[in-house]
Amino acid sequence: MKKVSKIVMGVLIFILSVSAFGKGKIYVGTNAEFPPFEYLQDGKIVGFDIDLINAIGKEINKDIVIKDMAFDGLIPALQMNKVDIVIAGMTASEDRKAAVNFSSPYYEANQVIILNENNKDIKGFKDLNGKIVGVVLGFTGDLVISEMKDVNSKKYNASYGAIMELQNNKIDAVVLDSQTAINYVKHNKGIKLCDSKGDLEEYAIAISKNNPKLLSEINKAIEELKKNGTYDKLIEKYM
Ligand code: ARG
């Protein structure tokens, strides 16, 4: 290579690496088994949360790198600095608040009951007593049902597994977050939603307690995305 082109190359590489370094990455943990918030489509992780965090990344000038993992491994991954934040339709519960910080809430949900279409005797949470109820390990639905002493809970690793067992009459009901439940009922035959709803839950982005700066940047970005219409567009796209 001629000397001049070597210098040009050197300068180019320098500029590229400075800009890549300057931008910085945010490693984001999720569990892509929770449509419409995060799920796999043709092998790609997509969904409301994924679009939202990418929009936040743009606002705060950071590249987003998504890491898919088991739901109950997300908070430990955050605590061990394997990821910087978690976005996973995660309810900002009091228990979790003891371990991590949460952004301002970005979505509201409740636990709901999914039933076989022909089920007539379950009309609310009280009617789950004595029944076998599918929940997903570590989800808030798991906690709610585990507190009901007369309910037989059956724990699954992923929500779709519970839905299939319900369709096959292996269990009486599934307790799951409202929007995800609506999504499953829409796309699967023979199941319906029960009218009654559990307590209000708020989804928020989890951030390590050691990173208050990132927390306030993310909160500012959420506020901006709600103001400029991006948030509403995502709601319309996914819900
Ligand atoms: N909102 C529920 C919780 O926080 C369920 C979240 C499940 N999210 C997921 N990406 N798998 O426990």
Atom of ligand 1 lying closest to residue 203 CA = 1
Domain boundaries 109-201, CATH class: alpha beta
Please tell me the class of the 22-106+204-238 domain.
Answer: alpha beta
Q: Does the pLDDT at position 19 exceed 90?
A: no
Site to probe by mutation for ligand 1, drawn from 69, 139, 175, 179 as the one with most ligand atoms within 8 Å of Cβ, is: 139
- State the Cα–Cα distance between residues 95 and 146, nearest whole angstrom: 15
The residue among 191, 181, 196 whose CA lies nearest residue 36 is 181
Cβ-proximal residues to 209 (8 Å cutoff; 6+ apart), any chain: 99, 100, 101
| Residue range(s) of every CATH 3.40.190.10 domain in the chain | 22-106+204-238, 109-201
Q: Around Cβ 96, how many Cβ atoms within 10 Å?
A: 18
Interval between CA 38 and ligand 1 midpoint (Å): 10
Mind listing the pLDDT tens digit for each residue in 75-130? 999 999 999 999 999 999 999 999 999 999 999 999 999 999 999 999 999 999 99
Q: What is the largest CA-CA distance in the chain?
A: 83
Residue 163 in tokens:
């839905």
pTM of the predicted structure, to 2 decimals = 0.90
176 neighbors 184 (Cβ within 8 angstroms): yes
133 neighbors 174 (Cβ within 8 angstroms): yes
Nearest one of 90, 105, 110, 95 to 199, comparing CA atoms: 110
Cα 89 to ligand 1 centre (Å): 5
Within 8 A by CB and 6+ apart from 75, the residues are 86, 96, 99, 100, 206
Asked which of 18-22, 66-70, 127-131, 191-195 is least confident by mean pLDDT, the reply is: 18-22
Please give the structure tokens belonging to residue 40: 């796999």
Compare 162 and 13 and report the one with higher pLDDT: 162
- Is the model's pLDDT at 10 over the cut of 90? no
